[in-house]
Structures are given as C-alpha cells and as structure tokens.
Structure 1
Amino acid sequence: MTVRVWRPVVAAVAGLLLLVSFPPYGWSWLAPVAVALLTVAVSGARVRSGAVLGLVTGWVFFAPVLAWSNLHTGLLPWLLLAALQALYVAALGGALAWVAPWGARAWWWPAVTTSLLWVAQEAARDRTPFGGFPWARLAFGQDGSPLLRLAALGGAPLVTAGVALAGGLLAVLLAEAVRAWPRIRAAADRRAAWWAWWAWCRSARCWVPAAAGVALGVAAAAVPAARPAGAPVTVALVQGNVPRLGLDFNAQRRAVLDNHVAGTRRLAAEVAAGRAARPALVVWPENSSDIDPLRSPDAAVQISAAAAAVGAPILVGAVLRGPGRGQVRNVGLLWSPERGADTAQLYVKRHPVPFAEYVPLRRLARAVSAEVDRVGSDMVAGRAPGVIDTGPLTVGDVICFEVAYDEVVRDAVTGGGQVLVVQTNNATFDVAEATQQLAMVRLRAVEHGRDALMASTVGVSAFVDADGTVVGATGFNTDAVVVHQVRPGGGRTLATRLGYWPELVLVAWAAVMAVGAVVVRRRQPAAGRRDGARG
C-alpha cells in the first residue's frame, strides 16, 4: 500500500480544520475546506489507502472534539470512543476511493460522491452501535453559516449534504488548479503567467465549480426562516449550578435541588418587585431533582413552594425510581403550583446514553473503566414522544444528548410541541461540550421552525429563536435565571413534514454509486486500475 507523504499530511490538516469549524471555535466556514482536503487526499488513491487517510482525518478530528468525554472517566474510554467514530470516517475515505472510477470523466463526480457518501457515513454513525452516537455531524458545526438554513428543507442530513457538496466543489477547483499550475509556472515571464492564470479562471473547469459553490451558498441563504405566529408567552429557565463539577455531582443531590429552588425564589422576588415579568412556565434542567420527588415528601414540598412563590408551573428534570426494582427513569415532570406533580404530563427519556445511563456488556465495560459501576441502576427508556401540555403552551421536551437524534426531536414536534425544550446536565463535561450542544439546539430550531431553549444545571443555558438566533446565553459553572418571550409555533416546515425521507434518498443514491462502482471496476482493465491507484 503506497501513500505519498503529502496525502496523510493533507488528511491530518482536514481533521484540524474540521475541529475548529465546531464550537467552541466556531469557524464554520472551514468545514467545506476540511471536506475538500480529505477529498483531494483520497483522490486517485487505492481503497485501502483511502481508508487509512479517512482514519487520519477522523482521529485528528474526533480525539480533540470529544476531549470533554475524558474529564472524569479516564483516558481509555475517551480514546475508544474517538477511535470508534474515526472508523466511520475511515470507511468514508475508502468509499470515496472505491466510487472514484465510475465517474472519472465527469468534473462534478467528486463533489456529488463526497456529498452523498458523507451523509451515508453519518447515517451509519448515528445508529450504530447501541443506537449510535450522532455527535459532531457536519450539520452541527454550521450554526454560524448560511447553510444552516437548509435544515428547514431537509433537516440535519441536508445540511451535511450541503456542506459536503460545497467541499466537493472546492476539491474539484483545487484539483483543476493543481493541473493548471505547471502551465502557469512554465510561462516565459510574469505577464505571460498572469495571462495563463486568467485563461484558466475563464475556463469552464474553473468558473463552473466556483459558480456552483456560490449558487449553493446563495440558495441556502435565501431559504426563508420560519416565524411562529402564536402570541408570545413568557418563559423562564433556571440554571442552579452544582456544588462541584464531576461525576460526583449527584452525590450532592439535595444541594442541587436547593440551588434550583433558590434560583426560582429569586425570580419570584424579582417578579414581585416588578423587575421581571411573571413567567407562564419555569424550566429546570435535567437532574435538577435527583431526589425522586414522587417518593420524597421533603423534595415535593420544596418544589411546590418554589412553584407557588413564582406562581407558575415548573418543568422539573427529575430522576424517578422504578418502575421495577433497581430501575430508574430520567424524566421531565410538570409541577403545578396548585396540584403538585402532574404525572399525566410526564416525559421519560427515550434514548438513554449507553455506558452513562445504562451499561451494556457491563463485565467487558468494567475491564475498560471501573467508572461504569457508578451507573448502579440502568435507566429505563420511555416510549412516548416528549409532548407536555403546560397550559399556556405545549412544549416538545427532549433530554440532554437526545437533541442529536433526528427522530426524537421530530416526534416531539409532530406530536404537538409548539416550543422545543432541551433539559440537560453538563456538570460532568465542560464548556466545549455545552456549546456544541447549544449549536444542535440552534439547528433544531431552524429545522422545525420552533423557538427553543436549553436549560442546563451548570451552563450553557439559552433561548434560541426559530431563525437560530441565540438569546440570553449564560456563563458556564455559574447560577443564572433567564426570562424570555417565546412564540408558540403550530406549522410544520418542509423538513418536519418529510422526516427521514431526505436522508433515505441521499443514502440510497450513495448505495447506487457504490454498487455501480463494482460494475465499472470489473470492466476496467487491471492495468488501468493499477495506474489510476498509484500515489
């Protein structure tokens, strides 16, 4: 297997640029450049070489972007997670090399294959193993890009396809520039070199992919943002903070609950003094009451007192014991000032996180890290979408990492959610993880045309308007209360109506390309394959 030195270097640079396109850096415009560099690195390589190059890009990207996962669990789980995710990018690199011969004569072929195969790679990564890990999809790094608007048409898969298509078009342009460079360099003098360069710029090989890339950006920016038409409703989020960050945050259950009660009481005092509007709903984050308030009278009294003080129902992020022995549920529970816990308005997290909220293959996992035994009780997954009627509005509730899963969020909207609520707990991570999660909330707001909010125990918490604008973002590892008016939405964007179909169509075309490449490779002379695969 021969791989020239420049190829792994370019692949590594692609991984670095992909990293800084994501929060907390947020240079989203570098994502297409990263995609272009990986495409160029793989161009003309053998399938095995393409896989190695993809692995380089994947590792350089995933190891640092997932560094927050090793803050309290040790190095090995983090490295294994990063390596697993990098393997999907390795498969992408091999697939790009595999399909290259089919459309070798068409200038647009690398751009289209890059776009489709990147979506297929993410579709596999989003679902396997153990329900998948969709973190750091291309779409989730575009919160500052006009390509984010594509989410309203086809969700996260279409945004990923747009980013990868832009990168593929740039790769075509780079490849053509490399081919033209010897002629420009061989010019007799500077004037001749400029004329050679200008002649190349005027050629179709230059301006067609460039124009296609510009057209893509303009078309994405022209997608209209949704404007929910409902009457504004005042909502407050409470970020109570925790005594200390780390895996033992839940050892301070009472302190965490007290912090959120205190924050709500401060809000009530502000309302009574006329310095804040009375909210119609208060949202507490995930794990704000790890003391089961349905079984602990003391916790129930504290939450009821907070709700009565502020004069509004509270959506509590709670951990409930049961239904079976040794089982727990991660829930969003509506708590009324008059009636207390409203178990009819209860959302049970549908997608518990493997190795964090339940432990598959526990004996094997324990050999990797003894920290898995901190998960003493496996969480039971809910079945119903997170649709909670609070009275003034119906919220679509998702909990923590569920915001990364397309179907979980969409079900909350199609079930009647007028505003998206993400209850999360970032106490075991850092500000990088929190800002990456907030970027996902921005995409979901645009995708479904819904105002949204993310309430975290430690930050970052914020409201997000339906056009993706962030309002009232809090600091990290601090207590805060934010009050904002949200607009209930009732309509459905094209992305909401289409659901998984855009992704299914894109993946199907990727599969057609992969199968078609089999036919082409069988017909291609062996010598031609060897010549085309060198380098």
Structure 2
Amino acid sequence: MSFVPRFLLAALAGGALNLAFPHLRWWWMAIVALALLHVALGRSRPGRAFAYGTAFGLAFFLPHLSWAITSVGTYIPWAALATLQACIIGLYACLRAVALKSAWYTRSASVWIDAVGSGLLFVAIEGMRSRFPFGGFAWGLVGYSQVEGPIVRLAAYGGTTLVGFTVVVAAVLLARVINPAGERSGRFLSRAAQVAVAGALPLVAALAPLAGNAETGSLSVGVVQGNVPRPPLADGYEQARRVTANHRDETVRLVKSDPQLDLIVWPESASDLDPRTNDDVLAMIHESVLAAKVPILVGTQEYFENGRYNQHLLFVPDGNDVRIVDSYTKQHPVPFGEYIPYRDFFAKISSDVGKVRTDMLPGQKPGIMDLALADRNVRVGDAICFEISVEDLVRDSVNRGAQVLIVPTNNASFGDSAEAAQQTDISRFRAIEFSRATVQASTVGTSAIIDPRGRIVGATELWTSDHLVAKVALRTSETFAAKAGIIPVLGSAILALGWVVVGPFTGEKRASRRHYSDLQRKR
C-alpha cells in the first residue's frame, strides 16, 4: 500500500478503538483496531510510521477526550491534549519501525518476536505517557477498554501493563496474518498458529482467578449524589451553597430509607465553600452528620494566600456536635485544569490560562484515612477524581493497608459526555487490579458501588439527585499487581528499549555480511 491508503487505514483504526470504550464497550474491538493499525504500519520507515501512528492517535483521542471542550469551553486545550497524546502513539510507531530493521524480521520466529516486542513497547510508551510530562495523563489506556471482557482479569496480576500487553500481542499476531511481511516457509501453519494464539489469549485470561470475598468483614456504605443546579446559578456563592444543600437533603432521604450505615460518602466539591470558614455550610454538614449518626466524608476546598487544596474531610458525630478527625488532600492536581504549570509562559500562548485563577497545590499525605467504628477500625483509601487513573497513587494506598477504595469526583463540568462513564470504567479496573471494593461518589453522576471483582453493585444516572447503599467486602490481602508495584512498567520499558536498540544493530550487521558475500562472489 502507498502512503495515503495506509494513513487512512490507521485513522480508521483509531476511530474504531473508541468502540471498545464507553458507551459501547466492545472490548474485542481494541484487538481489531490495533490489528488494523499494525497492518497500516507494516514495515514502513520510521518517519512514515510516526505519521500513521499519529493519525491513529488523533482519530482515537479527539473523540475520546471531547469532554474537554465542554469542560473548558474552547477547542484549543482539547486539540492540544489530543495532539500530544496522539504524537506519543506516533512515537511508538516510529520506535517499532526502528526495531523492525533487525535481521530476524524475515525469519520464521519474527512473527512472535514482533508480537512480544510490540506489546512490550506499546505498554512501555503507555507507562511513560501515564507519568510524563507534568505527572502524566493516564486516560484512554488500552487496558481500560477491557472491563467488559475476559482479558481484564489479568489486571490483578500486572495492571494496565499486562492487560495492554495481551491485547497488543493478539492484535499484532492477527495483523501479521494479513500482512505476513515475507516469511519464507510454513506460511499456512504459521498463520494458523497466529490466529489460534490470538484467539486463545482471551480464553486463557478468562481462567485467571479473582478473589473478592470479605476478609475482615464488611462495611455498610451510603453514597450521596446531591446534583448541581443546571444551568449554573448566576451567583457563584449561591450555586455552591445550593450544591451543599442538595447533598444535605439527599442525606436526610438516605437515612430515612436505610439508617443502618457505617459510613456516608459525599463527592468532591459537595461543599465548595470551606466548612471550616463558612458557618452556613458547616451548619448543613452538622445537620447531616447528626441525622445520620455516622461519619460522613465531605469534599471541599481550602483556600489560602498562594493557592488552594482539594480535600476530603472525615466528619464524625460527637454527642450533639461534629468534628473533623481525618482528611486527605489531592496529591495529583490536573495540569492545565486545576493548576497551570509555567503560567507566565503559557499565558503568552492562550488567554484561557486565566480561567484557572487559583492554582491547586498537591497534598503530601498518602491517600489513606482511618475510620473508627464501634467495634473496629477500617482503613480507607481515597483517590480524588482523576487520581483514580493514577495507578501508582492508588497502589500506594493499598500497600499502606487500605481495605476499601473511595473515589469522590465532580463531573458537573463535563455535561452529558462520556467522561463519567470512562471514569467509572477506570474505577472498575482499579477494583479488579487491587481486589478492593470501590465506592465512587459524584456530584451529578455517575456514582457507583463496585465489588472487588469489578462488578457494579449499584449506579446512578447523570444529573439526578440519588443515593446508593451497599455492604462492601473489606479486604487486606494484596494482589500480585499490588505487590509487584512499578516492576511491570520498568521491566517492559527495559525490554522494549533493548528490542529497539538491537533492531538496527543486527540489521546493519546482516547488511554488512551480505555486502561482504557479494564482494567475495565478484572475486
């Protein structure tokens, strides 16, 4: 194929990848889409491979991240974010093209080396973009597309690295059936084996055991989704006050319907006005805690001279009063959304920088809080909003003893987009990865209670006032993924780097041997 057909095929493949994510969640489409990408790549030169990979990335990320338009209100940040992520996929394609210069590519084992090498390189690149720059952006990872499929069970054994690797290996094996790139013998048997292995990978993954039983009892949790006035009220103070009042009112309804609770979770920004400095919202929280007679986690913000913190505060009843006994401050604010890095520089590029008037600063405390119940203590892990996509932070909470995960989030600025559903799928993935029940509380939806096997026990609709109640299993044992830590990411990066470096080196040696043989024959 010439450049244009390959470019268009790569773009088609990127668009098809969206079908594996919400709302359709056709998990198998991720394998098909990546197979088409690798057909388009073939043995292209690095420059062209970068173009094909970037076209794939743009066709995927522009629709996948379209909620950024709704959130920010302009197209420039959305286009910049999608383009950056797409170029990272282009980098993968470019490096793979370099690796394929190896002498082994035309040998009988090349299919399998290509599949494993491409899988390692792809997840290494995903691991990089999840952490760099500015702390990374771990949205749209291939692993998150698998929550409805069998391959996701591997999350408990290697996180997004192992799940993504498995998907890419299957995709490359199928791509090489379509575009075998010159195998010299055993073509039929080789291709039949490729199809068989690609088909067997999901079946084998389906056999991976997942633990989900309660190990230290259960926790009766209530989730409150108070909703947000839509459209927003003209008065910002009254808007914030109304949101808190909505959560108070829904808490009262929750307590009347199911008073036997251990904990109630309010979402991020349920009290945008700091109850430590605002008596009005403090009175609402006071009323809610005393009505429930159980601790309530409340999302709020703390403002000070040089910035602000995004926090989750643990309020507990104390006789006729309430008090704050613990808190968590968001460690990973979203760059360009909650703070502006290099503000002076980027202000010269876009006036949208001014929309983030006060930078959010990172907290230094780990994402854990201790909940003291009448008969026991329960350690909860807390990841505020986009932090649920930050694998390292969530794993740290589990390593520190979190028995259940709490995800307070505010999806009000994303409208009716797929962002809330995407975030819910990431929460489901984390539940499987670390074998922890996960409680996601949103201001406007989707709120969800998820069991340790990633199954949704209950969920709310968007833009409704609602509540959820469930007994969730408490667990202390760690999955292999939790114990392995960052080793799968580093391991894949080291092996992928070796594959890329060895490629041109062995290719040059082979070319030199051919040149020497030609000279000998001429003599």
TM over 0.5: yes
Equivalent in 388, 391, 396 of residue 406 of structure 1: 391
Structure 2 gaps, min length 5: 516-523
Is the contact made by 1:21 and 1:27 (CA closer than 8 Å) also made in structure 2?
yes
| Aligned counterparts of 2:77 and 2:504: Cα–Cα separation in 1 | 37
Equivalent in 313, 318, 321 of residue 300 of structure 2: 318
Matches within 5 A, 1:303-382: 303-322=285-304, 325-338=305-318, 343-382=324-363
Q: Relative to 1, partners in 2 of residues 1:9 and 1:374: Cα closer, same or farther, differing over 3 Å?
A: closer
Cα deviation for residue 370 of structure 1 reads: 3.1
Is the contact made by 2:111 and 2:173 (CA closer than 8 Å) also made in structure 1?
no
Matches within 5 A, 1:462-473: 462-473=448-459
Cα deviation for residue 125 of structure 1 reads: 0.8
Aligned residue for 1:337, secondary structure, equals: strand
Cα distance per residue 1:331-389 (max 9 Å; x no partner): 11101122766554111100011111111122343345434323222112111211111
Equivalent in 495, 516, 520 of residue 481 of structure 2: 495
**Which residue of structure 2 lines up, in the alignment, with residue 75 of structure 1?**
75
Equivalent in 259, 284, 289 of residue 266 of structure 2: 284
**Which residue of structure 2 lines up, in the alignment, with residue 253 of structure 1?**
240
**Which residue of structure 1 lines up, in the alignment, with residue 400 of structure 2?**
415
| Aligned counterparts of 2:485 and 2:174: Cα–Cα separation in 1 | 29
Aligned residue for 2:287, secondary structure, equals: helix
Is the contact made by 1:356 and 1:372 (CA closer than 8 Å) also made in structure 2?
no
- Partner AA of 2:466 in structure 1: A
- Partner AA of 1:291 in structure 2: L
| Aligned counterparts of 1:399 and 1:336: Cα–Cα separation in 2 | 20
Q: Relative to 1, partners in 2 of residues 1:76 and 1:502: Cα closer, same or farther, differing over 3 Å?
A: same
Q: Between Structure 1 and Structure 2, how many residues are aligned?
A: 500
- Partner AA of 1:111 in structure 2: A
Cα deviation for residue 245 of structure 1 reads: 5.7
| Aligned counterparts of 2:91 and 2:16: Cα–Cα separation in 1 | 20
| Aligned counterparts of 1:82 and 1:250: Cα–Cα separation in 2 | 31
**Which residue of structure 2 lines up, in the alignment, with residue 216 of structure 1?**
201
Greater mean alpha carbon deviation, residues 46-55 or residues 68-77: 68-77
Q: Does 1:136 align with 2:137?
A: no
Is the contact made by 1:247 and 1:428 (CA closer than 8 Å) also made in structure 2?
no
Is the contact made by 1:88 and 1:125 (CA closer than 8 Å) also made in structure 2?
yes
Matches within 5 A, 1:377-526: 377-392=358-373, 393-430=378-415, 431-525=417-511
Equivalent in 219, 235, 247 of residue 233 of structure 1: 219
Q: Relative to 1, partners in 2 of residues 1:209 and 1:247: Cα closer, same or farther, differing over 3 Å?
A: farther
- Partner AA of 2:335 in structure 1: P
Cα distance per residue 1:367-418 (max 9 Å; x no partner): 4543432322211211121111122422100001111111110111111111
Cα deviation for residue 437 of structure 1 reads: 0.4
Cα deviation for residue 131 of structure 1 reads: 0.9
Aligned residue for 1:482, secondary structure, equals: strand
Matches within 5 A, 1:114-263: 114-176=118-180, 203-227=188-212, 228-244=214-230, 252-263=239-250
Is the contact made by 1:282 and 1:312 (CA closer than 8 Å) also made in structure 2?
yes
**Which residue of structure 2 lines up, in the alignment, with residue 266 of structure 1?**
253
Q: Relative to 1, partners in 2 of residues 1:255 and 1:246: Cα closer, same or farther, differing over 3 Å?
A: closer
Q: Relative to 1, partners in 2 of residues 1:298 and 1:249: Cα closer, same or farther, differing over 3 Å?
A: closer
Is the contact made by 2:290 and 2:322 (CA closer than 8 Å) also made in structure 1?
no
TM-score by length of 1: 0.89
Is the contact made by 2:42 and 2:179 (CA closer than 8 Å) also made in structure 1?
no
| Aligned counterparts of 1:20 and 1:290: Cα–Cα separation in 2 | 36
Cα distance per residue 1:79-114 (max 9 Å; x no partner): 111111111011011112111132312221221122
Greater mean alpha carbon deviation, residues 493-502 or residues 249-258: 249-258
| Aligned counterparts of 1:349 and 1:263: Cα–Cα separation in 2 | 25
Greater mean alpha carbon deviation, residues 509-518 or residues 330-339: 330-339
Is the contact made by 1:43 and 1:100 (CA closer than 8 Å) also made in structure 2?
no
Structure 1 gaps, min length 5: 181-198, 271-275, 530-535
Cα deviation for residue 266 of structure 1 reads: 1.2
| Aligned counterparts of 2:174 and 2:211: Cα–Cα separation in 1 | 30
Q: Relative to 1, partners in 2 of residues 1:240 and 1:372: Cα closer, same or farther, differing over 3 Å?
A: farther
Aligned residue for 2:412, secondary structure, equals: coil
Cα deviation for residue 204 of structure 1 reads: 1.9
Q: Relative to 1, partners in 2 of residues 1:244 and 1:370: Cα closer, same or farther, differing over 3 Å?
A: farther
Aligned residue for 1:108, secondary structure, equals: helix
Aligned residue for 1:381, secondary structure, equals: coil
Q: Relative to 1, partners in 2 of residues 1:16 and 1:250: Cα closer, same or farther, differing over 3 Å?
A: farther
Cα deviation for residue 476 of structure 1 reads: 0.7
Greater mean alpha carbon deviation, residues 296-305 or residues 338-347: 338-347
TM-score by length of 2: 0.91
- Partner AA of 2:155 in structure 1: A
Aligned residue for 1:171, secondary structure, equals: helix
Aligned residue for 2:133, secondary structure, equals: coil
| Aligned counterparts of 1:495 and 1:240: Cα–Cα separation in 2 | 35
| Aligned counterparts of 1:209 and 1:41: Cα–Cα separation in 2 | 18
| Aligned counterparts of 2:420 and 2:196: Cα–Cα separation in 1 | 37
| Aligned counterparts of 2:249 and 2:276: Cα–Cα separation in 1 | 20
Q: Relative to 1, partners in 2 of residues 1:342 and 1:116: Cα closer, same or farther, differing over 3 Å?
A: farther
| RMSD (CA atoms) | 2.3
- Partner AA of 2:347 in structure 1: R
| Aligned counterparts of 1:224 and 1:516: Cα–Cα separation in 2 | 37
| Aligned counterparts of 2:350 and 2:276: Cα–Cα separation in 1 | 33
- Partner AA of 2:354 in structure 1: D
